[in-house]
Structure 1
């Protein structure tokens, strides 16, 4: 059941916004043939933090599944392992897609060259 006042239920949707914005910016840069800019770099830094959260949640889910033997006296549903394994698979897939988006950014948009980025700044604005 989804609880509206539980903050933990809103973490994944907020993190997914960072992904969607980065993917939109990446798509736009590739489509228009533009180079990277500081805003895109900051979004990518945000995705680094999000990736660390995915790794933590991946390890946490593995830990929960590995402590199954401690709760043998409790009645666990039959879907405990299938849902746990699917969550692990999806976290690994999401982390892999994040790394793939970093690769596409570097391949199609280019590296973050600070000298070029500084030349684009108009100091008179």
Structure 2
């Protein structure tokens, strides 16, 4: 963990995660087989919608670390929602790998020259995002603290 924090501090990991997310949002509209952008397919809006949760978590994590605050229930809920988004990232990674692996099935068709470079870029970005998401979970636990249910319940005043 010390080696990781030396080469990838929390600010840099949040920044790289944001850049990777923005690039993947743009590339979610890109069709590998056709080398075109499709803005009218509903499937292409899954990642941009789910990435809102990721951006909110990154902002909350940045704020909590900067202000020295402890974890709270809203942050816990956002992180639990990010676990679901993490599964979507894994699905999109395997979907991209599947598309790249089906190249041989379409040898008789005209495949664009950008197929492998863009497919490789998207794959690397998903791997980077998945790794950085795990790293941000570790930074949340290190700098903000664990989700202690007893402390969270003590902060609730039921008479207000």
Assess same fold via TM > 0.5. Answer: yes
Encode CA deviations 1:31-88: one digit per residue, 9 max, x unaligned.
2211111110110011101110111111111111111111111110111111101110
Q: TM-score, normalised by structure 1?
A: 0.93
- Select 1:92's aligned residue among 127, 130, 149: 127
Q: Does 1:66 align with 2:98?
A: no
Indicate the RMSD between aligned Cα atoms, in angstroms: 1.1
Q: Does 1:8 align with 2:43?
A: yes
4+ aligned runs moved over 3 Å, structure 1: none
Separation (CA, whole Å) in 2 of partners of 1:67 and 1:7: 23
Aligned to 1:29: 64
Q: Is the alpha carbon distance of 1:60 and 1:9 closer, same or farther for their aligned partners in structure 2, counting shifts above 3 Å?
A: closer
Provide the aligned length of Structure 1 versus Structure 2.
124
For structure 2, the 5+ residue unaligned runs are 1-36
Aligned to 1:20: 55
For structure 1, the 5+ residue unaligned runs are none
